[in-house]
Amino acid sequence: MPRALRYTDFRARRRVLVSSDFGYAPGRAPRPTDIIDKATWKGIVILPDDVAVRTSNYHGATLKHLHDLWGAWIESFGNKHDCMFPVMLDAADDFQAATYNAMTGYYRLSVAALRSALELTAIGAWAQACKKQPDFNLWRAGKCEISFGKTCDGLIGATAVLRQHLYSTINDGLFDHKSAGTGGGFARRIYGGISEFSHARPGHTDGDMRKSNGPIYVRSAFNHVAWIQCEIVGLCFVLLLIARPKQRVPMAAIELFNNVKRLKSRATRAAFQYLYTTPSA
């Protein structure tokens, strides 16, 4: 039978925010009018809670790292309402959701959130770097579609010097078209890979990763989606630098690019090193 955590464990009790915790809270929240029954509550949360405790028992450092990267992304918003600002806001939610889903055993949904973050950031970077503000406004208004492939096509031209540098140093690129025998640049390759999870294709479902129905803790699955998150966050910071060449990057992100175990993509690391100059003290 399930047992309660000891009260000495800080994870044992839930906490809720009060009005003063919010930046904007016009009045008191209404009193509860339809509280969930105990059996339904337990049926919904007991398995994810179990996975969250088990995951945080063995992956505390990784969870902190992912949380710090989310914080670094938020710190990079800036005050200028350019094409990047709204997509960065939405991508931040995706990064936070990706970490939470991974911690609670919803591994496929974690990767699906990362696909959304990458797609959003690529659209913003394309619009900013290629001066496509009118198209971006139409997209934001829901009046046109902008595919990931279209953003990559546009970014090829907008990053010609970077592309030449990457091919001369590591013989790889970020946005290149797919061709016979290749999956294109790294951005297209990883987007294609995570799309397999987003569409729940055979071999990429939670059942495939967990070998079980319902959320359970699987070390290898958590490690895999945590690595994917590091790769996507890294690529999104590169897109941010393409869109905003003078962008300052928080230390947590810089440390990610220096960690080969967490960020394995040579193209992403090489692009960051080329685009970013660490400010002098």
Q: Note the pLDDT of residue 62.
A: 98
Q: What confidence tier does 143 reach under pLDDT thresholds 50, 70, 90?
A: very high
Is 20 within a domain?
Answer: no
User: Within a domain: residue 261?
Assistant: yes
54 found inside a domain: no
Residue 44 counted as domain residue? no
In whole angstroms, give the CA distance from residue 154 to residue 163. 13
Position 174 pLDDT exceeds 90: yes
Tell me which of 35-44, 83-92, 175-184 is least confident. Answer: 175-184
Distance, in Å, from the CA atom of 109 to the CA atom of 205, rounded to the nearest integer, reads 9
Torsion of CA 238, 241, 247, 249, to 10 degrees: 10
Q: Looking at the domain assignment, is residue 5 inside a domain? A: no
DSSP secondary structure letters along 87-129 = HHHHHHHHHHHHHHHHHTT-HHHHHHHHHHHHHHHHHHHHHHH
pLDDT at position 280 over 60: no
115 closest CA partner among 97, 132, 137, 135: 97
Inside any domain, residue 250: yes
DSSP H or E stretch at residue 156: helix 148-158
**Token pair 């997209």 is at which residue?**
139
pLDDT at position 234 over 50: yes
Mean pLDDT for all residues in the chain = 94
Q: Rounded to whole angstroms, how far apart are CA atoms 131 and 5?
A: 54
pLDDT at 279: 59
Fill in the DSSP letter of residue 144: S
Task: Give whole-number Cα distances, 145 to 94, 120, 140, in Å.
Answer: 20, 12, 9
* Residue 195 maps to a domain: yes
What pLDDT, on a 0 to 100 scale, did the predictor assign at position 145? Answer: 97
Q: Which range marks the domain in which residue 200 is found? A: 60-275
The string of pLDDT tens digits covering residues 119-139 is 999 999 999 999 999 999 999
Does residue 159 sit within a domain?
yes
Contact 275, 242 (CB under 8 A): yes
How many distinct structural domains can be found in the chain?
Answer: 1
3-state SS, 159-210, equals CHHHHHHHHHHCCCCCCCCCECCECCCHHHHHHHHHHHHHCCCCCCCHHHHH
